[in-house]
Amino acid sequence: MRPVRVGLVGAGIWARAFHAPLLARGPETRLAGVWTRRPEAGLALAEEFGVPYCAGYRDLLDRCEAVAFAVPPDVQAELAAEAARAGRALLLDKPLALDLTAAEELARTADAHGVVTQLVMTNRYRPAVREFLAQARDFPVMGARASQLTGEFLAGPFLDHAWRVRRGVLYNTGPHGLDLLDAAVGPIKEIRPAGDRHGFLALTCLHEGGAISQLLLCGKVPGVGKRTVYELYGPRGELVLDFSRISNDSEQTRAALREEFAAAVRSGRSHAIDVHRGVHLQRLLDQVWRDL
């Protein structure tokens, strides 16, 4: 398969550590260039990977057939819509935007121009997570419990991102939790939040089919590292996914994401985890944000 030429928007920590190495590794994709509103950072990243730095966004679009985004959600929504209007496939980060209206508008624009979309929900490309979801399909669920606890909002790179500080753990790790519960238990139709969106947050989710789940989120728990656990309960007992028991699968995860994006672009059909999945998650985030 001819490699997909992907332009990268952004030069921050995730662009450097995740997106650029993922796309440059190939062979299914080729990093075609970098553009960012911070020329110094963009030049450094482009030089590191031996690709052109584009002085303007339009220059990047002219060099590529797909665009990957590693920028704040509100910036992504604006720039991704422009890329869609130019006919470029979109590799989008979560959340799609900072408000539901912008997310829905992005989806409409992508549909109107018939472009392929895929969402970088990294957990969904992990072998252990895929095995868990496959088992969950045949596991009748009465209720579920999940926790995503970290200390990342006490110290570390998240504090350098204004949008993460402003929206807190709900918009940072919340999409992962809501996505996996929705996929494992059934579509979430209602959420009842309690707690502090900048502190400890509990989300009780009502799923189609009658199951109930609860997601605990907090980014200010010192000493726990990343504690991420999903537990499903039903007539057959329990089904558990504990991320602390998953071996390092970074290479397999990145390879799956890259291969599936390239296949989607070449087929002309969006990935199952596409912009519309992102809009669904955005609606859930929006409901919680408004209720709190």
Number of domains in the chain: 2
Residues 156 and 234 in one domain: yes
Residue type, 134: A
What per-residue confidence (pLDDT) applies to 197? 85
Q: Compute CA 175 distance to the chain's CA centroid, rounded to the nearest angstrom.
A: 7
Residues 215 and 264 in one domain: no
Residue 290 in any domain: the answer is no
Residue 292 in any domain: the answer is no
User: Residue 280: which H helix or E strand, with range?
Assistant: helix 275-291
Residue 93 in any domain: the answer is yes
Q: How far apart are CA 75 and CA 97, in angstroms?
A: 8
Residue 230 in any domain: the answer is yes
Residues 117 and 185 in one domain: no
Residue 277 in any domain: the answer is no
What per-residue confidence (pLDDT) applies to 157? 81
User: Dihedral angle at the C-alpha atoms of 280, 283, 288, 292, nearest 10 degrees?
Assistant: 170
**Residue-level pLDDT, tens digit, the chain, 292 residues:** 899 999 999 999 999 999 999 999 999 999 999 999 999 999 999 999 999 999 999 999 999 999 999 999 999 999 999 999 999 999 999 999 999 999 999 999 999 999 999 999 999 999 999 999 999 999 999 999 999 999 988 988 878 889 999 999 999 999 999 999 999 999 999 999 999 988 999 999 999 999 999 999 999 999 888 899 999 999 999 999 999 999 999 999 999 999 999 999 999 999 999 999 999 999 999 999 999 9
User: DSSP H helical segments within 187-242, as ranges?
Assistant: none
Q: Which two tokens stand for residue 23?
A: 């796309």
Residues 234 and 262 in one domain: no
What per-residue confidence (pLDDT) applies to 161? 86
Q: How far apart are CA 68 and CA 9, in angstroms?
A: 6
- Say which CATH number the domain at 170 has: 3.30.360.10
Residues 134 and 60 in one domain: no
Residues 169 and 259 in one domain: no
- Radius of gyration over every alpha carbon of the chain, rounded to an integer in angstroms: 19
Beta bridge partners of 207: 188
**Residue 203 half-sphere exposure toward CB, CA atoms < 13 A:** 34
Please tell me whether residue 131 adopts helix, strand or coil conformation.
helix
Residue 284 in any domain: the answer is no
Residue 283 in any domain: the answer is no
What per-residue confidence (pLDDT) applies to 257? 98
Residues 225 and 264 in one domain: no
User: Residue 11: which H helix or E strand, with range?
Assistant: none
Residue span of the structural domain in which 159 resides: 127-247
Residues 137 and 229 in one domain: yes
- Say which CATH number the domain at 55 has: 3.40.50.720
Residue type, 208: E
Residues 256 and 117 in one domain: yes
Residue 280 in any domain: the answer is no
Residues 88 and 187 in one domain: no
Residues 260 and 221 in one domain: no
Residues 239 and 254 in one domain: no
* Contact indicator for 181, 251 with CB cutoff of 8 Å: no
What angle separates helix 275-291 from helix 174-185, to the nearest 10 degrees? 110
